[in-house]
Structure 1
Amino acid sequence: MSGSKREINFQFLAEPTDVNFGGKVHGGAVMKWMDQVGYACAAQWSGYYCVTVSVGGIRFFRPILVGQMVTLNAKIVHTGNSSMNIFVAVKSGDPQKNNMVDTCRCIISFVANDASGYPVDVPTWIPQTEEDKALESYAIHAREFSKQLEAELLQALDKS
């Protein structure tokens, strides 16, 4: 049974343990956070354990500094039979000044699985607003582009 809640937010402070050699939050830490919030969103929507299938269109806009507030928003933007595309947006800023700015975004695909690890059907999500429709279109386009790139890679590998 699905919780049918489409969206979830995580919010926390960036810590010194998240820093790379350049003194900024490590991109790998940000990607981990994005996968975690995406998983929480997918599991909340489907009511099942979910696995990450792919991450696409990841784009970093600016660094996150230690001590900044970090907010991650994840929301369902497209569903298939057992799959869900989650749009994840990251913002960060000084918690004392409340000046949050866009930091990063991506689309993550998850598949819901039963206790034996087999895919299970998920509730259908239907876009309601123009933004919802645009995000769904983006997710579908990203999926199709990813399939095209994969086919091209496999073809290139077969030739070598």
Structure 2
Amino acid sequence: MSKLFKTVASSRTSIAELMQPSHSNFGGKIHGGYLLNLMDQIAFACAAKHSKHYCVTASVDTVNFLEPIEIGEIVTLKASINYVGNTSMVVGIRVEAENIKTGHIKHCNSSYFTMVAKDETGKSATVPGLILSSEEEIRRFLHALERNKAKRQNKKEFQSKDFVLENYLNELQKHNIKIAL
């Protein structure tokens, strides 16, 4: 059986929603938790489209709230598969908000959700490979590889039984902390 490959475009997904007062926080802006919920939904939809399986969120990376979102703005979320492993996919998400009166569009958030495909028994399922059709898609794939490599290195360095605090004391002195061991 030959391996199945799918294009990035084949699972690209977008949703748009009017932001209402019920979505706001005490400061009158759209609540970050509500936005994260929408991001998780679109990550699921994009990953499920690519894999043809139920998918679960394994991790969320780099959630930066760049601009506040106002009540009455239309929020558009755009998602695409940036990377695939054997059973996992990294979904890149871009969030934009449009002022319906002025037409001004602002970039509010970018994030990366790692999703894992599951079969009917709940075991991880193999996902199709990815066809990269543009320089931008290749850049996003390589960026995902670098993030994965950095996460593995960080985990190895800081969760190791070989961790040596003394190696970091000079760095720690540069920060607004007091060590009281």
Give the TM-score normalised by the residue count of structure 1.
0.91
Instruction: Confirm or deny: 8 A CA contact 1:77 1:127 kept in the other structure.
Output: no
Counterpart position of 2:32: 27
Residue by residue, what CA displacement relative to the aligned partner does 1:43-64 show, whole Å, maximum 9, x if unpaired?
Answer: 0111100010111122111000
- Amino acid in structure 2 at the alignment position of 1:48: H
Residue by residue, what CA displacement relative to the aligned partner does 1:77-107 show, whole Å, maximum 9, x if unpaired?
Answer: 1111111111000000212332211000011
Consecutive unaligned residues in structure 1, runs of 5 or more = none
Consecutive unaligned residues in structure 2, runs of 5 or more = 166-181
Counterpart position of 1:148: 153
- Amino acid in structure 2 at the alignment position of 1:52: T
Counterpart position of 1:130: 135
What is the identity percentage for the equivalent residue pairs of Structure 1 and Structure 2? 31
**What is the CA distance between 1:3 and its match in structure 2?**
8.6
Match of 1:138, SS state, is helix
Counterpart position of 2:46: 41
Instruction: Confirm or deny: 8 A CA contact 2:6 2:129 kept in the other structure.
Output: no
Q: Which moved more, 1:65-74 or 1:127-136?
A: 127-136
Q: CA RMSD in A?
A: 2.3
**Residue 139 to residue 3, structure 1, CA distance change in 2 (3 Å):** closer
**Residue 136 to residue 2, structure 1, CA distance change in 2 (3 Å):** closer
Which residue of the other structure, out of 3, 6, 15, is the alignment partner of 1:10? 15
**What is the CA distance between 1:151 and its match in structure 2?**
2.9
Counterpart mapping for 1:24-103 below 5 A:
24-103=29-108
Which residue of the other structure, out of 123, 131, 138, is the alignment partner of 1:118? 123
